[in-house]
Amino acid sequence: MKKSFSRAAHLGILTALALVLSYVEHLLPLPVPVPGIKLGLSNTVLLYALFMLSKKEAVLLMLLKVLIQGFVFTSFSSMLYSLSGGALSIFAMILARHFKGISIVGVSISGAFMHILGQCTVALFFITYKAVLSYLPFLLISSCITGAVTGIIAKTVLHHLSGRNSK
């Protein structure tokens, strides 16, 4: 019983952290010529949940983040984009984690790549495919870079936390 309360509290803190990181990112846009590109800092929290907690909790964290973010900060359509991207991203990261040759940076790049792919697939239903095709190359290149950056951040955080836990 006590353990489940502790897990719920842990999940609550991680959700809050993911939301705060998303909000901070929204306030500080990246100085890139392509609009809408984000670093995806909240993905580090998702990676932490995936590597330190469990698959189930990582999926729950993604759903909570998307829903709360959708209701508080964005609109229903934005929530749809986040949900499709988030669902594909977490699925890819869970799958990539099982491959022994892939490090946390590779897992993060896979997640970022699938996030873009999920969002662009939903975008195809609403906007012309020509616009999606124009944006896709730049979004894919950015997913490579942002995925690597968030992966390195998550790796550093996990390294320090595992060192602290073992003390």
Partner 1 sequence: MVKNYKTDLLIAVFVLFLAALCFLIGILCNKSNSDTVEIYVDNALWGTYPFGEAQLIKIDKAGKHICTVCINEEGVYMLESCCKNQICVSSGLLTREKARSSDIASWIVCLPNAVTVHLALGDMQ
Judged by the rule CB under 8 A, the positions of this chain that interact with partner 1 are: 26, 33-36, 73-75, 77-78, 81, 96, 99, 101-103, 105-106, 109-110, 113, 123-131, 133-138, 140-141, 143-144, 148
Tell the residue number behind the tokens 């508080």, with chain if given.
Answer: 72
User: What minimum distance in Å lies between the beta carbon of 96 and partner 1?
Assistant: 8
Burial class of residue 129 in the structure, from the number of CB atoms within 10 Å of its CB (0-12 exposed, 13-18 middle, 19+ buried) = exposed
CA 45 to chain centre: 8
Q: How far is the CB of 35 from partner 1 (least distance, A)?
A: 5
- Closer to partner 1 at the Cβ: 129 or 156? 129
Distance CA 60, CA 56 (A): 6
CB of 21 to partner 1, least distance (A): 17
Query: Cβ closer to partner 1: 16 or 106?
Result: 106
Nearer to partner 1, 13 or 124 (CB): 124
Q: Compare residues 14 and 79 and give the one whose CB is closer to partner 1.
A: 79
Instruction: Give the Cα separation of 147 and 152 in Å (integer).
Output: 9
Nearest distance from C-beta of residue 57 to partner 1, angstroms: 24
Residues 6+ apart with CB under 8 A from 83: 66, 70
Residue/partner pairs of 70-75 with CB below 8 Å, 24 or more apart: 72/19, 73/22, 73/23, 73/26
